[in-house]
Copies of this chain bind each other. A is one copy, B any other.
Amino acid sequence: MKLSSSGHVRKYASVNYLKNEPKKPDVKTAIPGPKTLALTEKLGKIQNTGAINFFVNYEKSIGNYIVDVDDNVLLDVFTQISSIPLGYNHPRFHDVMKNSQNLSHFINRPALGIFPSADWPDKLERALLSIAPKGLKHVTTMACGACSNEQAFKLMFTAYQRRKRGEPTEEEKESCVYNKEPGCPDLVILGFDGAFHGRSMGCLNVTHTKWIHKMDYPHMDWPCAAFPKLKYPLEENVEENKQEEARCLEDVRRKIDEYNARGKFVAGLIVEPIQGEGGDNSASADFFCQVQAICKEKGVFFHVDEVQTGGGSTGTIWQHEQWNLPHPPDVVTFSKKMLTGGFYATDELLPREAYRIFNTWMGDPTKVLLLEEMVKVIKDENLLSQVKVTGEYLRSNLNELQVNLDKLW
């Protein structure tokens, strides 16, 4: 995110920040290094450490460079599972922390759903509504991506039932407390093969990547449709890819009909704009428009999971903005680079009752403080344009590499 479209760095706080960045990686030890190994052993007495890559010196890490405890300096393209929006130790985030007016937010964590602070509506406005996907005026914060998806499912289930029956009956209210019909209807959410939507039990029903996330846990019988496996370069496989997308659209349609016919009504469909965990798979804008059209036709709510794609790394704040959908999605969830979890929703999905979508903290205002600053930095430094320039540079060079791939291997 360093190059401006004119090739010069811009005249904001980030100038010095970028000046302080290392010029290149500097690897001094094996990775994991000796200090990481000693710390991993120590942590291993407390918890499973199988996923530890290395321990990090966060004070020393800067911009695009992460520094481990063995003083290895690495160009960080993984960015904490895609959750660091502006690199390490961004000066504008330091400023947020130094502002004493912000202090009380950090030490008095509110239950935001019942006791927000006076500046909360303005913060939501500036941090989240100012970048809301077109057509979505409602936003609610949550702690993380999985929680946001769980809430989105609940919104879709309720809106689906509301369309069907209007006001709930006493029988529904009573039976649901003990997990029984009619209060707990047999509704399902359709997901895609290769999708990852989180690891809580609701999200796991539509997560279809690796056994490590799912094995031994009871799951619901929710439909799983094929997701396009496109051939690259896209320009050379136009017809084949069109057929592949048609096959998947047909599968979406068939799965909805099948499950509806079995009385397991499909209330919603969830999709990632780019499958991350499942192997960086994407599809054309037209594919997603057609998925939405099928949803409209079948009375299924359309949920776009932008937990990994949201926040600007695709050149737009939301990847689905690039689809030019004729209608906004019914619900869009976010987390990671957005620093706070949460969801945007349409009027129809907005909960009608108090405490319907609720939990103790409902997110964390300290994350929204940082997000507010992040949104300003993205604007001030014109980062979305820079992402496009940098992205195009990376893509064209990867394309060139690809041409000569046979000679390399």
Contact = CB atoms under 8 A, between A and B. Distances in A.
A350 B113 contact: no
A25 interface: no
A287 interface: no
A127 to B, nearest CB: 11
A356 B212 CA distance: 6
Interface in A145-169: 145-147, 150, 153-154, 157-158, 160-161, 168
A82 to B, nearest CB: 8
A57 B117 contact: yes
Contacts of A88: 108
Interface stretch (A15-23, A37-45, A376-384): A37-45
Contact of A107 (B90, B103, B351, B360): B90
Most chain B beta carbons < 10 A, residue from A35, A51, A370: A51
Nearest to A62: B108
A315 interface: no
A355 B125 contact: no
A113 to B, nearest CB: 5
A93 B114 contact: no
Contacts of A350: 47-48
A10 interface: no
B143 A143 contact: yes
**What 10 pairs across the A-B complex have the smallest Cβ distances?**
A50-B354, A201-B202, A179-B219, A93-B107, A173-B211, A80-B111, A176-B215, A58-B104, A184-B219, A51-B354
